[in-house]
Amino acid sequence: MKTDRREFLKYGLLTSSAFLGSIYTFHQRRSRSTEELNYTGELIDQSERGHQLRKAMAMEPRGYEEVPVLIAGGGMSGLLTGYYLKTHGFNNFRIVEMNDRIGGNSSYGENAVSKYPWGAHYIPLPNMENVELVTFLKDMGVAKAGGKNVEFSEEYLCQDPQERLFMRGEWQESILPSKNITREDQDQLKRFHDLVEAYKYKKGRDGRFVFSIPVMLSSQDPEHLALDRISFDQFLKKNNFNSDVVHWYMNYCMLDDYGMGTDLVSAWAGLHYFCSRRPLGQYDDHRILTWPEGNGWVLQRLEEILKNHIASNQAVIDIHWQGPKRVASRIFDFQSRQMTACQSHALIFSAPQFLSQYLFKQKTDLPEVDADDYYSWVVANVTLKLPANELNKLHWDNVRFGSKSLGYVHARHQELRARTDGTTVLTLYWPLYEKNHTATEIRKKISGMSWQQWAQQVVSEFEFMHPGISKHIRNVDVKVHGHAMMGPRIGRMQKVFTTRSRYQNKKGIFFSHTDNSGMSLFEEAHFWGHQTAREVLKYVGIS
């Protein structure tokens, strides 16, 4: 009994700290080993071409050529415009694309594992009245029959299970929160649902649906267009939607389609997201078409049809309207570094419209668009080998509640192959939107960020949803879309409906881009492609 308390404490502490210490070092060692990068990857940044072009502006043209119809921009809008020119038998056109690959926001990539999207990755089923788009999808081999009996190929309809939400520690089916939310949240979601259902079938005094896709088919009844003068936030507040869950969901949807939050988006555009799609025949209004490479699938078909008309690695600058059927421009080739003078009957501007003020000689009658209408996006394609328990639970779209990212899409979801060894590609979408920061400020903030910095953020986002997943990751490719897409801010829709006719002052200049609609959707690209092709054909005297 000679031992004193101090000694007892000392040894007690020693033994217990030896115990705790070993656990601690064990954890330390593990966490350090995961910090070493076990994956490769690259950063794809397209801003370089813009800088090169700015330098080339001063160059004098050496050659001269005539291109009767010149399409500036090889994104979905430009390609669809070309497609409709060609399907109507007109072949005297060229599509000029600045990057080495066409596609714009519908571009895609491919590695040994799978094809995967770099941007737009699905097309919602069109509304019944959108006959042109239904026909287009039939021509692409995606749909059969017509009218109410239209049938979409099961191979391209998004397979079940479609989407899930990671909320409060567990996954739930559907992105719309339904589990682990309060009674009040549920009530508000229900109230919003009822509001949406009512608006879906509501018509304006002009007999058109209040909200339609394409946007130009919507009612222009001033009573409803008044919604364009307030923000979606204000609308929600006015209608007592104040639950955090409801707000998260609304904001998620706005970021998803417009790249900006509820505080900037106009209430009209906010409601348009929810209310403009109606069930088609046997299909409900949540059905979508998707492919491993996203809308890149459509792109490849268009590319095949238009291959003799596409000139990539070239940019159209210095567009000069000299009178009817006389549009001068210069074309810069990034590879040969040559500048060529070009004369056209018609020029179709299918590039993002904030560029028009740099590319048109006359600065009048240009779309009222500026760079702050375009927020940035980051898209990451992560190649990894998933363990079976994670693989079996994957949905097509996987979203985390409260995250700044929009979640990830599983590229191999649409594959017919029943079972794989778990190697796959997940595409993470990350809109770089911050409240009270302009798009230009955000672009400045992210300029110079390295691949490593992006990849770390991407990986930790995956770790949030799937702890321990980083050790399975093999490759992380990151693409920064500096001016990803136009978002419909307050007042945009008013401009969409009223200002287009002003472009007609210069006969021979056409604007065919989703920016005409103020929202970057496939349906809008298709609408303007189809519409513009008809106008151009009439103008050049084909029909």
Partner 1 sequence: MTYLLLFSVFVVATCGLIYELITGALASYLLGDSVTQFSTIIGTYLFAMGVGSYFSKFFYRNLLNVFIEIEIVIGIIGGFSAAFLFVAYEYVSSFRFILYTIIFIIGCFVGLEIPLLMRILKDRFEFKDLVSKIFTYDYIGALIASISFPLLLVPYLGLVRSALLFGIFNVAVALMTIVVFKTEIKSEKFLRVKAILTLIIMVIAFGYSERLVSSLEVQNYRERIVFKKNTSYQKIVLTQSHGDMKLYLNGNLQFSSKDEYRYHESLVHVGLGQIDKPRRVLILGGGDGLAAREVLKYPSVEEIVLVDLDDQMTGLFKSNPILTSLNQNALTHKKVQVVNQDAFVWVKNNRRQFDFVIVDFPDPSQFALGKLYSRTFYGYLMSTVGIDGLIAVQSTSPYVAKKSFQIIVNTLNDVGLYTRPYHVYVPSFGEWGYVLASRIPIEIKDSTWALPAGLQFLSQEMIPFLFQFSKDLIGETKEVNRLNNQVLVRTFEQEWENYGHYEN
Per CB under 8 A, residues contacting partner 1 are: 1-3, 7-8, 11-12, 15-16, 18-19, 22-23, 26, 154-155, 157-161, 287, 388, 391-392, 416-422
- Paired tokens of 221: 């009844």
Is residue 523 within 8 A of residue 498, CB to CB? The reply is: no
Beta strands of 27-113 (E only): which ranges? 43-45, 63-66, 69-72, 93-96, 108-110
Min dist. Cβ of residue 311 to partner 1 (A): 36
Q: CB 58 → partner 1: shortest distance, Å?
A: 55
Residue 212 C-alpha from the chain's centroid: 19
Q: How far apart are CA 267 and CA 260, in angstroms?
A: 13
Q: How far is the CB of 2 from partner 1 (least distance, A)?
A: 5
Which of 55/419 has CB closer to partner 1? 419
Minimum CB distance to partner 1 smaller for 28 or for 362: 28
| Distance from C-alpha of 528 to C-alpha of 543, rounded to nearest angstrom | 18
Shortest approach of partner 1 to residue 320 CB, angstroms?
A: 51
Least separation in angstroms between residue 468's CB and partner 1 is: 11
**Contact assessment for residue 312 and residue 99, using Cβ atoms and an 8 Å cutoff:** yes
Query: Residue 216 or residue 391: which is nearer to partner 1 going by CB?
Result: 391
Closest CA to 376 of 12, 47, 22, 31: 47
Minimal distance, residue 11 CB to partner 1, in Å: 4
**Which tokens in the block code for residue 79?**
């390609």
| Residue (20 or 59) nearer to partner 1, CB | 20
Residue 302 CB, nearest distance to partner 1 (Å)? 25
Q: For residues 16 and 452, which CB has a smaller minimum distance to partner 1 in the complex?
A: 16
DSSP H or E segment with residue 288: strand 288-290
**CA atoms of 55 and 525, how far apart (whole Å):** 31
User: Environment class of residue 507 by beta-carbon count within 10 Å: exposed (0-12), middle (13-18) or buried (19+)?
Assistant: middle
Kindly tell me which of 383 and 494 has the beta carbon lying closer to partner 1.
383
Q: Nearest approach, Cβ of 157 to partner 1 (angstroms)?
A: 4
Sequential DSSP letters for 467-523: TTGGGGEEEEEEEEEEEEEE--BTTHHHHHHHSGGGGGGSTTEEE-SGGGTTS--HH
CB of 27 to partner 1, least distance (A): 9
* DSSP H helices in 36-182: 47-56, 76-87, 131-139
What's the angle, vertex CA 165, arms to CA 398 and CA 284, rounded to 5? 85
User: Which residue's CB is nearer to partner 1, number 60 or number 154?
Assistant: 154
The count of other CB atoms within 10 Å of the CB of residue 389 is 8
Sheet of 338-344, strands arranged across: 63-66, 338-344, 326-333, 314-323
